[in-house]
Amino acid sequence: MKPLHTEILRALLYYDIWHYPLTARELFAFLPVNSMTFEDFVRNIEVNGPGANVFVEDGHYFVRGKSPAIVQQRGEKERHARHLWNWARLSMHIIKRFPFVRGVFVSGDLSKNATNRNSDVDFFIVTEPNRLWITRSLLILFKKTILLNRKKFFCLNYFATTDHLALDGQNIFLATEIAHLKPLYNSELFARYLEANRWIADYFPNFNVQHLPLPKTNNRQSIIQKFFEMLFSLVPAGKLDNYLLHRMKGVWARRYPEYDENTREKIFRCTKYESRAYVGNFEEKILALYEQRLREFGVMN
C-alpha cells in the first residue's frame, strides 16, 4: 500500500471499533502523519483514491467490510446526541455549583456525537488542588440520594486538579479522548488543559480543536459555590480530602478483589490529583481491539 493509503486506513480502523465513519476533515485531523495541507490531502484522495480497503459514501470514509448504511447510522447517532446535549448542559449547571469545581467537560460517546440509547453523559471535572476528593464525594452523594443513583445524565468517571492537567499515560486511546473533549464550563481552563497535553500531536499532528464543533461554554462562577466554599474554610479541608482519598482506595479494593494491586491502581486511579475509573479495564480492551484490527489489515507499525 502507498504510505498515505496506509495512514488513512490506520486512522479509520480506530473509529471502526465504534462503527463510526469519518468526514474528510475529521480523517485529516486524526491522520497519524503531517506532510500536507488539508487542501492537498483532499486533492490527493481525489487523484489517487483513499486506498483499496477504504470506501466513501456521501462524504464519509469507512473500511472494507462495512455497509454504506454505516453513514446513515452515524446520522442517527448524531440526532440522538443532540438530545443528550440538552441534558448535559442541565447537569453542568448543577455540577458547577458544587464546591471547588473549576471546569466541567464532556467526554465519552457524547463528546464524539456518537451516542445510542445505552450511552451515558460522561463528565470530566476539574477541581481546586487538594479538594478533588471532597468534590467527588459530594457529587457522588448527590447522585446516589437526589438522583437515586441514576448515572444516565450524570456519569462522573474522571476528575483532575488544576495543578496537574497533563495525563501521566500517553497512548492513542487517551489522545483520542483528549482531542474529542468538549468544554461546557470554563473555556480558559479547557485551553490550558489542551496546552498541558500537547503530546497528542505525536499521534495527531494535524489536529486543531477549532476544526471540530464545540458547544457553547459557560464561564460564570456561581455565587452559591462561593458560599459553600466559605463553609469549608471552617474545617480542616485538606485532612478531610486525604481521608476521603484513602477511604476510596479501600472501597475499590473490597469491591474488586479479583484484581491485583497494580492492576487495580491502573484501572481505578486514586491520587491527590486524579480520579479515573474504567471498570472492566476499558482502555486496555480498546487498545487490544485496535491492535487486532491493524493486524487484520496488515498495517502494524
DSSP strand pairing (274-277 vs 268-270): antiparallel
CA atoms within 13 A on the CB side of 263: 10
pTM of structure? 0.92
pLDDT tens per residue, the chain (301 residues)? Answer: 578 999 999 999 999 999 999 999 999 999 998 878 999 999 999 999 999 999 999 999 999 999 999 999 999 999 999 999 999 999 999 999 999 999 999 999 999 999 998 899 999 999 999 999 999 999 999 999 999 888 888 999 899 999 999 998 899 999 999 999 999 999 999 999 999 999 999 999 999 998 888 999 999 999 999 999 999 999 999 999 999 999 999 998 898 888 888 888 878 889 999 998 877 678 889 999 999 999 999 987 6
Name, in order, each residue with C-beta under 8 angstroms of 195's C-beta and a sequence gap of 6 or more: none
Q: Are 4 and 34 in contact (CB under 8 A)?
A: no
As a dihedral over the C-alpha atoms of residue 234, residue 237, residue 243, residue 246, rounded to 10 degrees, the angle is 160
How many CB atoms within 10 Å of residue 94?
15
The three grid cell numbers given for residue 40, joined into one nine-digit string: 492537498
The x, y and z cell numbers of residue 207, run together, are: 489536529
- pLDDT recorded at residue 157: 86
Going across the sheet that includes 182-185, the strands are 182-185, 101-107, 122-127, 155-161, 274-277, 268-270
* DSSP codes joined into one string, 246-283: HHHHHHHHHH-TTS-HHHHHHHEEESSSEEEE-TTTHH
Bridge partners for 269 per DSSP: 276
Give the phi and the psi of residue 100 in degrees, each rounded to 5.
Answer: 70, 10
